[in-house]
Amino acid sequence: MEIVAFLLFVAVIIVLLFGYPVAFTLAGVSLMFATIGILAGVFELALLHAFPSRLFGIMTNETLIAVPLFVFMGVMLERSKIADELLDTMASLFGSLPGGLGISVILVGMLLAASTGIVGATVVTMGLLSLPTMLKRGYQAEISTGVICAAGTLGQIIPPSIILVLLGEVLSSAYQQAQLSQGIFSPETVTVGDLFLGAVLPGLLLVSLYLLYLVFMAWRKPETMPAIPPQVDMHVAALFKRILHALIPPIVLITAVLGSIIAGIATPTEAASVGAVGAILLALINRRLDLDCLRYVMRRTVQVTCMVFMIFIGASLFTLVFRGYGGDNAVHALLTQLPGGVIAAMLIVMLLMFLLGFILDFIEITFVVVPIVGPVLLSLGVDPVWLGIMIAINLQTSFLTPPFGFALFYLRGVAPKEIQTKQIYRGVAPFIAIQVFALMLIATFPELATWLPDKVYSN
């Protein structure tokens, strides 16, 4: 019956390639395979009786309440035009240097990633705001598009991120399942806060590598990233006031959200509510909050949240049927019997997720693939925080990689017509190399992901 489980997985991928919605594809194909199995007498109907309890578990999961709150926070900050002010201010600071505008885009992308945690929104926002300016100022098209795509995908890894919230919840369940299978009946837990802390150093590492590359290119080929003439009418006092107005509010908001989680003052859900309220206050300060704005933000929040939870429900049914056919045992046998042990198992899983990142969003991979391979890898002794960070950066790399990277599609949708697709592909190539290098560093030195959580929670 393991062959049927494999066919189920392949059938889901094929149906998705035809463009059908992910949530309903997962649920519909799984029910079809379960029905055929029941009629053939090879699938137990009693297994489906566990589905209502899974739905109830999703509904009563307090951590998942953070999802709509973080979505609300991100959409409200996007609507309040915080990116406009940040980009203008950073350009005033660094624009007079070769490569300064590119550096500004990376730094603004980092702040937006920490503020919104929504990759697509960040790429689109940065594409609309900064790409025309960079091209107008003489920046090479390849450099401009590569910088924007790389900066936009930082929302994958820099906390607080919706993706890390979802991944933390799935890894927590997988970690407990792995320990129970080993006879540990008082299992340790991994929390969303652990993943947030684990992502801090890798996120800063990526930003630093991006900036070093831009500085090198500005020194080696200054004609590709020319300096912007400084604003002679901008006094130091006025610039300082502008910096305070643009930078302090989002930094305070990020510190309040992350700081309350790290200090143990608030759970991720409570911290997300702080972020949502803070986003409303920022919108009020920027005079962007009105009835139309609130209506848009609430409607968008409901849409994204419904999409996430429908995928969660469909994925729950998929994993139930997959395990009913013995698919989890087949995956366990495959990964544990590889000649290279845990290293080979990690390589296989990372490669599989990288390829799936071309056709599936992070949410689908988190809910479909991680529950299957996570318990196996964790039972082999892999650290759950390190595994979560490796998955996040691996998929971030996948989303940048031609020809199917999601970030490339987002930017192509808002880029001017004179920008060719091959220019976008060439532009992201150096940043893909940087991502792979960072992934190898974290694989070689797991302490980059595990040191900070251990340091904070050991005291």
Top-confidence residue, 46 or 438: 438
Side-chain half-sphere of 4: how many Cα atoms within 13 Å? Answer: 20
H or E stretch at 195: helix 192-220
Residue type, 101: L
CB neighbours of residue 96 within 10 Å: 14
Contacts of 113 (CB under 8 A, 6+ apart): 122, 151, 154, 155, 156, 157, 158, 161, 203
Confidence of residue 235 (pLDDT cuts 50, 70, 90): low
Q: Where are the beta strands (DSSP E) in 244-401?
A: none
393-to-2, 108, 198, 399, 449 alpha-carbon distances in Å: 31, 19, 12, 10, 11
In this structure, are residues 72 and 338 in contact, taking their beta carbons and an 8 Å threshold?
no
Confidence of residue 458 (pLDDT cuts 50, 70, 90): low
pLDDT value of position 239: 67
* Cα(396)–Cα(405) distance, integer angstroms: 9
pLDDT value of position 111: 80
Top-confidence residue, 298 or 255: 298
Q: Environment class of residue 114 by beta-carbon count within 10 Å: exposed (0-12), middle (13-18) or buried (19+)? A: buried
Q: Give pLDDT tens digits for 313-325.
A: 888 898 889 888 8
Q: What is the mean pLDDT of the chain?
A: 84
* Cα(174)–Cα(191) distance, integer angstroms: 12
CB neighbours of residue 90 within 10 Å: 23
* Cα(456)–Cα(385) distance, integer angstroms: 14
DSSP annotation of 303 reads: H
Q: For 96-121, what is the mean pLDDT? A: 77
Structure pTM?
A: 0.85
* Cα(370)–Cα(355) distance, integer angstroms: 14
H or E stretch at 10: helix 2-17
Treating both helix axes as pointing N-terminal to C-terminal, what angle do 291-324 and 2-17 enclose, rounded to 10 degrees? Answer: 150
Residue type, 458: S
CB neighbours of residue 176 within 10 Å: 17
* Cα(388)–Cα(139) distance, integer angstroms: 36
Residue tagged 């920046």 (tokens): 139
Q: For 42-67, what is the mean pLDDT? A: 84
DSSP annotation of 186 reads: S
